């Protein structure tokens, strides 16, 4: 029994000494490892620390397995390198399929859809009024919104002042003397002042009661009827209003951000739910100077041809506005942007596997491009594919914390990309 205990103790001590010797030799080899094995013709690179790609914020001063059991990779430092620049081995860049694109100067012509309302073209409005006191003896248009054609009778007016002027003019028809002819010319001028044309004079002569019939000056719609048959009217009183439909106005409500890009002559396309499949093309005639106090929108007046009368005033319309080409602006592919809340940044290519995160301030977006208001000069190249991986490495190296936020004036540039994933094989 005593011999067995002695044998067991000897085996235990031998195993303990073997384990101590193994661990000591491993530690010695680790501590004596050079920064990196240099191949002929290459220079030794300085290793800042070792890290686990799954937990990049944990730094270790020796290689090996991380607490999670993953093989750690080195983090290198370039002598005299800019701390804001991230370096990635060119082979790694190629393996990751990182794509770049140049920053462009281009015109962003955005297309916007805004609501609109069809209204009367007030330039075609005509007011029919009484030139003298009288009575409406006959009314040919008895309801508003009656369609009429040019020359159609509207109303017959009995007016004593017209009757006396017509009688005086008729009595001088056969005048031969110079004085009588002068009086006849004066009588005709009086009829002109009273608003009577040659057609009105002939109509009064043929009429049974001497009344004057008023005719439509143009084709259109009687939009307002202000008198009734038998009503007495006074000089200057409005009898009715006639409005044409050959052209109509569309008043579009433009948000102020869009109104700043719209000018006179900006092309538009108008559609209406009541007329499916039809498009009406026109242009902005003017921007009305007032801003709606409730919606904070500015109205744009659009003139459309409406020869067939398909568009009716009061109809709801949808207006597609294509602003006229403006000045070229600095723009990048929208896919290149890394956004985090109100912040935006780009990964700028410095060359030879070097990249720099840059905070930017963005403007309008159109056709896959976004305007850059501040942060770029316009002659750079940016990463459009794989930028989130580089952004993660920039966060790891602290480059994001050193972004010049005053140049682009973002709200903050210290947060990292929300969708970034660290790279496992980057130097």
pLDDT in tens, 118-147: 999 999 999 998 888 889 988 999 999 999
Among the listed residues 262, 216, 215, the one whose alpha carbon sits nearest the alpha carbon of residue 242: 216
Measured distance between the N- and C-terminal CA atoms of the chain, rounded to whole angstroms: 61
Mutual orientation of helices 198-206 and 160-171 as an angle, nearest 10°?
90
Which pLDDT score, from 0 to 100, does residue 321 have?
85
Extended strands (E) in 322-391: 329-333, 338-340, 343-351, 354-359, 361-366, 369-374, 381-385
Phi and psi at residue 399, to the nearest 5°: -65, -35
Say what the pLDDT of residue 37 is.
41
- Select, from the ranges 74-88, 180-194, 222-236, the one with the highest average predicted confidence (pLDDT): 222-236
* Structure-block tokens of residue 268: 């538009």
Q: In percent, how much of the chain has pLDDT > 70? A: 69
Tell me the CA distances in angstroms from 162 to 198, 205, 212, 235, 358, one per residue in order.
Answer: 13, 12, 8, 12, 85
pLDDT of 258:
76
pLDDT at 371 over 60: yes
Task: Answer whether residue 160 shows pLDDT above 80.
Answer: no
pLDDT above 50 for 372? yes
Lowest mean pLDDT among 122-126, 178-182, 233-237: 178-182
- Global pTM? 0.51
Cβ-proximal residues to 117 (8 Å cutoff; 6+ apart), any chain? 250, 251, 314, 315, 316, 317
What does the mean pLDDT of the chain come to? 75
* pLDDT tens readout for residues 28-83: 334 433 444 434 444 456 777 787 766 666 788 888 888 878 788 777 765 444 55
- Quick one: CA dihedral 412, 85, 54, 27, positive or negative? negative
pLDDT for 260 beyond 80? no
pLDDT of the residue at 412: 36
Q: How confident is the model at residue 425 (pLDDT cuts 50, 70, 90)?
A: very low
- Looking at residue 203, its pLDDT comes to 61
Which tokens is 395 given? 């966060």
What mean pLDDT do residues 400-423 have? 40
23-32, 238-247, 299-308, 354-363 — which is least confidently predicted? 23-32
Asked if CATH classification 2.40.420.20 holds for the domain at 86-105+328-408, the reply, yes or no, is: yes
Q: What local confidence, expressed as pLDDT, does residue 349 receive?
A: 82
Residue 272 CB contacts under 8 Å (≥ 6 apart), including other chains: 118, 278, 311, 315, 316, 317, 318
Using the Cα atoms of residue 408, residue 413, residue 417 and residue 421 in order, give the sign of their dihedral. positive
Assigned CATH topology for domain 112-121+245-321: Elongation Factor Tu (Ef-tu); domain 3 (2.40.30)
pLDDT at 121: 93
Q: How confident is the model at residue 249 (pLDDT cuts 50, 70, 90)?
A: very high
Q: What is the mean pLDDT of residues 188-197?
A: 73
Q: What is the pLDDT of residue 238?
A: 93
Three-state SS for 223-265 is EEECCCCCCEECCCCEEEEEECCCEEEEEEEEEHHHHCCCCCC
Higher confidence at residue 95 or residue 132?
132
* Each residue's pLDDT tens digit, 266-279: 888 999 988 998 99
Residues whose CB is less than 8 angstroms from the CB of residue 251 and which lie 6 or more positions away in sequence, other chains included: 116, 117, 119, 288, 299, 300, 301, 302
Smallest Cα–Cα separation from 159: which of 131, 190, 140, 197?
131
- Highest-confidence range of 24-28, 109-113, 327-331, 363-367, by mean pLDDT? 327-331
> Do 283 and 250 form a contact (C-beta atoms < 8 A)?
no
Assign 231 a pLDDT band (cuts: 50, 70, 90): very high
Residue 392's pLDDT is what? 67
């Amino acid at each position: 029994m005593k011999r067995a205990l002695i044998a067991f103790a000897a085996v235990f001590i031998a195993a303990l000494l073997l384990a101590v010797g193994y661990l000591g030799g491993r530690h010695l080899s680790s501590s004596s490892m050079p920064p990196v094995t240099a191949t002929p013709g290459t220079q030794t690179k300085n290793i800042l620390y070792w890290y686990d790609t799954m937990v990049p914020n944990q730094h270790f001063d020796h290689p090996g397995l991380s607490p999670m059991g993953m093989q750690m990779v080195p983090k290198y430092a370039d002598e005299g390198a800019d701390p804001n620049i991230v370096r990635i081995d060119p082979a790694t860049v190629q393996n990751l399929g990182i794509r770049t694109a140049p920053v462009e100067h281009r015109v962003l012509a955005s297309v916007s859809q805004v609501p609109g309302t069809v209204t009367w073209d007030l330039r075609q409005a005509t007011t029919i009024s009484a030139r003298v006191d009288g009575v409406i003896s006959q009314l040919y248009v008895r309801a508003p919104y009656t369609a009429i054609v040019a020359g159609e009778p509207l109303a017959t007016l009995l007016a004593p002042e017209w009757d006396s002027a017509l009688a005086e003019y008729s009595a001088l028809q056969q005048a031969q003397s110079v004085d009588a002819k002068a009086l006849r010319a004066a009588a005709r001028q009086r009829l002109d002042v009273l608003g009577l044309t040659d057609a009105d004079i002939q109509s009064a002569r043929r009429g049974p009661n001497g009344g004057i019939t008023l005719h439509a000056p143009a084709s259109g719609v009687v939009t307002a009827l202000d008198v009734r048959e038998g009503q007495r009217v006074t000089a200057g009183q409005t009898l009715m209003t006639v409005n044409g439909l050959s052209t109509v106005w569309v008043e579009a409500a433009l948000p102020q951000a869009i109104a700043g890009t719209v000018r006179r002559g900006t092309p538009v396309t108008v559609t209406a739910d009541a007329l499916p499949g039809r498009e009406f093309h026109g242009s902005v005639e003017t921007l009305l100077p007032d801003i709606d106090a409730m919606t904070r929108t500015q109205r744009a007046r659009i003139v459309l041809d409406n020869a067939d009368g398909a568009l009716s005033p009061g109809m709801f319309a949808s207006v597609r506005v294509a602003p006229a080409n403006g000045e070229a602006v600095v723009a990048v592919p929208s896919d290149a942007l890394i956004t985090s809340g109100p912040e935006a940044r780009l990964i700028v290519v410095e060359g030879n596997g070097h990249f720099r995160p840059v905070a930017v301030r963005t403007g309008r977006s159109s056709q896959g491009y976004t305007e850059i208001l501040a942060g770029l000069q316009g002659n750079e190249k940016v990463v459009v594919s794989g930028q989130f991986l580089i952004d993660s490495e920039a966060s790891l190296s602290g480059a994001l914390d050193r972004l010049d936020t005053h140049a682009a004036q973002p709200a903050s540039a210290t947060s990292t990309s929300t969708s970034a994933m660290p790279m496992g094989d980057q130097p």
